[in-house]
A = this chain, B = another copy of it.
Amino acid sequence: MEPKTSDQESVRETFKEFLNSKGLRVTNQRLAIFDAAYADPDHFTAEDLLDRAREIDTTVSRATVYRALPLLTESSLIRQVDVGRDYKFYMANKNATTFQAQVICLDCDKIFEIDAPFMEWYGKTVADKLSLEVETQRLQVSAHCTELKAAGICERGGKKR
């Protein structure tokens, strides 16, 4: 588990305010789930999150994790990162100011986030040309990372199912 940052402390307050503003209650379980999500620097699954939240509060159940995930995404504190597996990935939304694309390594199954600022322009173009009101965009590249493999960074046995 990563050390808790002071930044995390303030975002935690934001989460509480979000709950209050929605008339929802601030429970220990929801806070444990938030802390677990925000302390993870990587992508994680619902099951990963359950494990980590339980390290903080052993009473957290799977059902509560699944019920908390929509709250965390609605409040933009985490975002869903869907890469076409059978289960969904999530990630704390820490400092993403520009559009993020995903590079998925086909060898080690790792997911890297990269900036793709031109996607903001693309969204506008699509919106204009097709008269659409763009809500979200997804750009994903699946690739073999020969370089990373040579450097020993990419190796089979990463965080995969």
Contacts and interface: CB of A to CB of B under 8 A. Distances in A.
A135 interface: yes
A133 B144 CA distance: 5
Interface in A119-147: 123, 126-127, 130-147
B138 A126 contact: no
A136 B143 CA distance: 7
A7 B159 CA distance: 44
A23 interface: no
A152 interface: no
A3 interface: no
B142 A137 contact: yes
A157 interface: no
A122 to B, nearest CB: 8
Interface of A: 80, 82, 84, 88, 103, 106, 114, 123, 126-127, 130-148
Given A132-B146, A139-B139, 16 more contacts: A80-B84, A103-B130, A103-B132, A106-B135, A114-B130, A127-B143, A131-B145, A131-B146, A132-B143, A132-B147, A133-B144, A133-B145, A134-B142, A134-B143, A138-B140, A138-B141
